[in-house]
Amino acid sequence: MPKGRLVLHTKYIDEVGGITEMKVYQVPRTPSTPRGYKYSLVYVFNGQRLIGYDNHERKGDHRHHRDETVPYVFTSIETLVKDFLADAAAMRKELRK
């Protein structure tokens, strides 16, 4: 990630053994970071990324769900975190079945 000011970093293990990690940096606005943020939010279970949201330079804002990658419409950090946590909760529910 580019150098910037860390504005969010959370990492924890949940009740099913999944790892949630969220990192958000405030960075200079550039063509690849037009909103001034770089972020990586990931949910890992048994060493495998099941849910991820990030905005690396070549792909822009996007979301990973298992092996599928789709564009993500970024509106705010608060909405990003809310969307990610909802997906992670749905994944935990699926893992409990």
- Determine the structural domain holding residue 10 and report its residue range: 5-96
pLDDT of amino acid 20: 98
- For the beta carbon of residue 94, count every other beta carbon within 10 angstroms: 9
Residue located via tokens 């705010």:
76
Residue 59 reports pLDDT greater than 90 = no
Question: Structurally, how many domains does the chain consist of?
Answer: 1
10 Å CB burial of residue 15 (0-12, 13-18, 19+) is exposed
The pTM (predicted TM-score) of the whole model is 0.92
pLDDT tens digits along 1-49? 457 999 999 999 999 999 999 999 999 998 888 999 999 999 999 999 9
pLDDT of amino acid 1: 46
